[in-house]
């Protein structure tokens, strides 16, 4: 099952849902009293709150001392490129979001996926947990191979080196 953990892409929440929220919270007496400014201000505030919530959970998830491998495609004006890196903290994870206006983070049957868009295109990434064996292999062998994409692919496809993070299951108790 796919769980959207965070998204600020257009349409993530409808204006009608915001109107209902404003009415439920007694900011307005009738649904038709909600102005465009009220709706967009509330959308912005909800987006900020949702980002703070998921950031908190991701920080605690990523900052436990494990190594992580992020890999995927980077959309640019002159085409798509492969890219990725190993990270150990939420702050390092957030490098993949740099310069992006829109972000969507999902858990799709244990696969932690990131989609983020910027003025040149859209980036698609996936994150896996790196095992102790995988991290040791990377530090002893992988970092000496000059083709980083080959290193990431070798680690990605080896179940002894990487595994699915199962974020939604482990953090929220969601079924996969």
Closest to 176 in 3D by CA, of 109, 92, 122: 109
Q: Are 100 and 118 in contact, with CB atoms under 8 Å apart? A: yes
Cα–Cα distances (Å) from 34 to 43, 169, 173, in that order, read 12, 37, 36
14-25 average pLDDT score: 85
- Residue 157: φ, ψ to 5°: -90, 5
Q: Which whole number is the average pLDDT over 53-68?
A: 97
**Total domains in the fold of the chain:** 2
Residue 31, pLDDT score: 79
pLDDT at 67 (0 to 100):
97
Range of the domain at 50: 9-60
Q: What is the largest CA-CA distance in the chain?
A: 66
* Residue 28, C-beta contacts closer than 8 angstroms, at least 6 positions apart: 19, 22, 34, 38
Mean pLDDT score of the chain? 92
Share of the chain above pLDDT 90, in %: 69
Indicate whether 37 and 98 sit together in one domain. no
pLDDT for the residue 11: 67
Instruction: Please count the other Cβ atoms lying within 10 Å of the Cβ belonging to residue 14.
Output: 11
Q: Are residues 96 and 153 in the same domain?
A: yes
- Asked if residue 131 and residue 70 are part of one domain, the reply reads yes
- CB count within 10 Å of CB 140 equals 9
Are both 81 and 54 inside the same structural domain? no
pLDDT tens-digit map of 120-164? 999 999 999 999 999 999 988 766 676 888 889 999 999 999 999
Query: Which H/E stretch holds residue 74?
Result: strand 67-76
pTM recorded for the entire structure? 0.88
Q: Are residues 55 and 125 in the same domain?
A: no
And the tokens for 139? 């530090």
Element (H, E) at 130: strand 121-130
Asked if residue 83 and residue 156 are part of one domain, the reply reads yes
């Amino acid at each position: 099952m796919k769980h959207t953990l965070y998204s600020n892409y257009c349409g993530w929440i409808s204006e009608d849902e915001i109107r209902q929220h404003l009415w439920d919270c007694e900011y307005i007496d009738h649904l038709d009293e909600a102005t465009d400014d009220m709706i967009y201000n509330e959308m912005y505030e909800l987006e900020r709150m949702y980002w703070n919530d998921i950031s908190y959970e991701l920080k605690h998830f990523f900052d436990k001392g494990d190594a992580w491998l992020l890999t995927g495609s980077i959309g640019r004006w002159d085409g798509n490129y492969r890219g990725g890196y190993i990270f150990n903290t939420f702050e390092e994870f957030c490098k993949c979001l740099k310069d992006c206006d829109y972000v969507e983070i999902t858990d799709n049957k244990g696969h932690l996926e990131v989609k983020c868009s910027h003025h040149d295109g859209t980036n698609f990434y996936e994150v896996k947990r790196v095992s102790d064996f995988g991290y040791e292999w990377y530090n002893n062998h992988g970092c000496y191979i000059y083709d980083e994409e080959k290193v990431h692919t070798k680690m990605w496809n080896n179940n002894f080196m990487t595994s699915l993070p199962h974020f939604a299951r482990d953090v929220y108790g969601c079924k996969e």
